[in-house]
């Protein structure tokens, strides 16, 4: 597998940079230098936005069927190159080759879904006295998009597919910790789309990201990442009165009822909910509410399941938990674990694992704390394989605690009782509720959060509404009789 020595930004169909400044892509597990990327700054962002602005008129007039065909080409290329891209992501971010293929299956589904959805994304018409009322949907213009490092393939698809399908042009900034697979994709985006339609500018948030959010020619901002940065993006959009889509943090409740049919299956799914993506997921089920009558049995089995998770090299197909993306993230997670030791009961895990040949990686043992909902580890997003388990008895109290966080992105329910499932789903303050299968995502099913988890919805047909605006046209059959004469 080959990786380029240098990845400049994609601007107007060409890979070029105004600056010679670069930053390294580093193997998350070994510390090995993988490649260099241009540290894009104001000059690159200005050029990318100018290219996107120039390309917008022709692209916005391109028939939807043609835009759809090009999105399908992206999906086909990803399908043909999944194995190689999985290897690149495993090196770049420390996720395992076991779970990364699912990222690409989901990303491929997004391009194909929006290629189909745009074909039926219309305005409306209605007859009125003396004529007709029409509304048509039009793209917004240049869209600035900023994505995180945890699931790059998914994040790129969530942003590019609906924006391009709707007829917008794009300037995308990948995260500095996870740019390689995105820049590899950019090579083929340059071959598929007309120059300027898709521009990809690697760089840092405080320079490239800040420049992108401030430019007046950017007609919409879309961001996935931390709530703190999301607020900055929202302020930037508000200052220029442009629409903003935000998918932010989470501290999701996962609720186990007494009436579950298969306790081992639920243990397995709750383990997955807390540890997939090495725990680095905004939608992870990191607060597990277990009914008191089965609590001890469930916790015992859960502890066994956590201890059985194989921690190892991201490139080993037998590995189920790789390393965190960076030393900074490793130190963040371990500081939360130390906080948990002081305020909760550590059941298992909590240490750093040494993996031979991967000594630079931050491999964290799958960790369980018994705690209450008011502790720091139960309230704040950790972004690591750390689970807070909370005992519950009274339904109303449990619901109150499940909702008692600043976030409202995702949630889970395990029950064999339809009434329990529906009354709980109705009362949870979360944009996504999964019953009996955590992370049950489907193309076309809305994804987004309540409260500080963001604004807007992705993955669904309604996402196209956020990348378009309605124009009202009133068509009279004839000029009316004189009013002033």
**What pLDDT does 66 receive?**
97
Indicate whether 363 and 411 sit together in one domain. yes
Determine whether 136 is exposed, middle or buried from the number of CB atoms within 10 Å of its CB (0-12, 13-18, 19+). middle
pLDDT of 343: 96
What pLDDT is attached to residue 423?
A: 98
pLDDT in tens, 325-375: 999 999 999 999 999 999 999 999 999 999 999 999 999 999 999 999 999
**Is residue 441 in some structural domain?**
no
Residue 481 lies in a domain: no
Amino acid 308: pLDDT: 98
Supply the pLDDT for residue 128: 84
Give me the number of domains the chain comprises: 2
Judge if 151 and 289 occupy the same domain.
no
* Dist CA 325 CA 281 (whole Å): 12
The pLDDT of residue 123: 81
Task: Looking at the structure, tell me whether residues 333 and 376 fall in a common domain.
Answer: yes
| pLDDT at position 368 | 98
| Same domain flag for 365 and 423 | yes
273/411 same-domain check: yes
What confidence tens digit (pLDDT) does each residue in 388-438 have?
Answer: 999 999 999 999 999 999 999 999 999 999 999 999 999 999 999 999 999
Which segments in the chain show pLDDT lower than 70? none
Same domain? 160 vs 268: no
Domain at 270, CATH number: 3.40.309.10
In this structure, are strands 131-139 and 124-128 parallel, antiparallel, or unpaired?
A: antiparallel
For residues 96 and 244, membership in a common domain is answered with yes
**Which residues contact residue 337 at a Cβ distance below 8 angstroms, ignoring those fewer than 6 apart?**
350, 364, 367, 386
Tell me how far CA of residue 367 lies from CA of 151, 278, 290, 465, in angstroms.
22, 11, 17, 41
In a domain, 447, yes or no: no
Residues linked to residue 451 through DSSP beta bridges, in sequence order: 407
Q: In this structure, is residue 318 part of a structural domain?
A: yes
pTM for this one?
0.96
**Domain span at 215:** 6-248+453-472
Is 156 part of a structural domain of the chain?
A: yes
Give the strand pairing for 33-38 and 22-26: antiparallel
CATH number of residue 24's parent domain: 3.40.605.10
Residue 265 located in a structural domain? yes
In 3D space, the residue among 23, 26, 24 whose CA is nearest the CA of residue 324 turns out to be 26
Q: Is residue 212 one of the residues assigned to a domain?
A: yes
Q: Tell me, yes or no, whether 306 and 212 share the same domain.
A: no
Whether residue 267 is found in the same domain as residue 199: no
- Count of Cβ atoms closer than 10 Å to residue 335 Cβ: 11
Query: Do 214 and 200 reside in the same domain of the chain?
Result: yes
- Catalytic residue list: 247, 282
C-beta of residue 275 within 8 angstroms of C-beta of residue 422: no
Do both 124 and 90 map to the same domain? yes
Q: Does 484 map to a domain?
A: no
In whole angstroms, give the CA distance from residue 8 to residue 309: 39
Pair 170, 188 in one domain: yes
pLDDT confidence of residue 125: 83
């Amino acid at each position: 597998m080959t990786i380029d020595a240098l990845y400049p930004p994609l601007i107007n169909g060409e890979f070029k940079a105004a600056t010679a400044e670069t930053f390294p892509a580093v193997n998350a597990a070994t510390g090995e230098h993988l490649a260099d990327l241009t540290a894009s700054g104001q000059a690159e962002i200005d050029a990318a936005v100018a290219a996107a602005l120039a390309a917008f008129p022709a692209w916005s007039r391109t028939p939807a069927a043609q835009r759809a065909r090009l999105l399908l080409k992206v999906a086909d290329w990803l399908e043909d190159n999944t194995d190689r891209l999985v290897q690149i992501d495993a090196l770049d971010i420390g996720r395992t080759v076991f779970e990364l293929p699912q990222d690409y299956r989901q990303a491929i589904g997004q391009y194909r879904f929006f290629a189909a959805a745009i074909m039926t994304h219309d305005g409306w018409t209605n007859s009125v006295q003396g004529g007709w009322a029409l509304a048509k949907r039009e793209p917004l213009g240049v869209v600035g998009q900023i994505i995180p490092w945890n699931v790059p393939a998914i994040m790129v698809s969530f942003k590019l597919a609906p924006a391009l399908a709707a007829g917008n042009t794009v300037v995308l900034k990948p995260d500095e910790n996870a740019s390689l697979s995105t820049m590899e994709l950019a090579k083929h985006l340059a071959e598929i789309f007309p120059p300027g339609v898709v521009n990809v500018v690697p760089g840092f948030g405080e320079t490239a990201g800040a420049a992108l959010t401030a430019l007046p020619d950017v007609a919409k901002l879309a961001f996935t990442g931390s709530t703190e940065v999301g607020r900055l993006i929202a302020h930037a959009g508000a200052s220029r009165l442009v629409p903003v889509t935000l998918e932010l943090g989470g501290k999701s409740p996962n609720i186990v009822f007494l009436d579950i049919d298969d306790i081992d299956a639920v243990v397995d799914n709750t383990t997955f909910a807390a540890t997939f993506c090495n725990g680095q997921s905004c939608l992870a089920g990191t607060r597990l509410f277990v009914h008191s009558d089965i609590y001890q049995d469930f916790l015992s089995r859960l502890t066994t399941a956590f201890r059985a998770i194989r921690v190892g090299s991201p490139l080993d197909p037998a590995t189920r938990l790789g390393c965190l993306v960076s030393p900074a993230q490793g130190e963040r997670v371990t500081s939360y674990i130390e906080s948990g030791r002081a305020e909760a009961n550590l059941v298992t895990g909590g240490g750093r694992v040494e993996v031979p040949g991967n000594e630079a990686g931050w491999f964290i043992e799958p960790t369980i704390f018994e705690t209450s909902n008011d502790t720091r580890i139960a309230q704040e997003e950790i972004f690591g394989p750390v689970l807070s388990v909370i005992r519950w008895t009274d339904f109303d109290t449990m619901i109150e605690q499940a909702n008692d966080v600043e976030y409202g992105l995702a949630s889970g329910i395990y029950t064999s009782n339809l009434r329990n499932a529906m009354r709980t789903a109705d009362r949870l303050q979360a944009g996504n509720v999964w019953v009996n299968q955590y992370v049950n995502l489907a193309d076309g099913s809305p994804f987004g959060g309540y409260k500080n988890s963001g604004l807007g919805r992705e993955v669904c047909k309604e996402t196209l509404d956020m990348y378009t605006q309605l124009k009202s046209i009133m068509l009279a059959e004839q000029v009316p009789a004189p009013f002033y004469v």
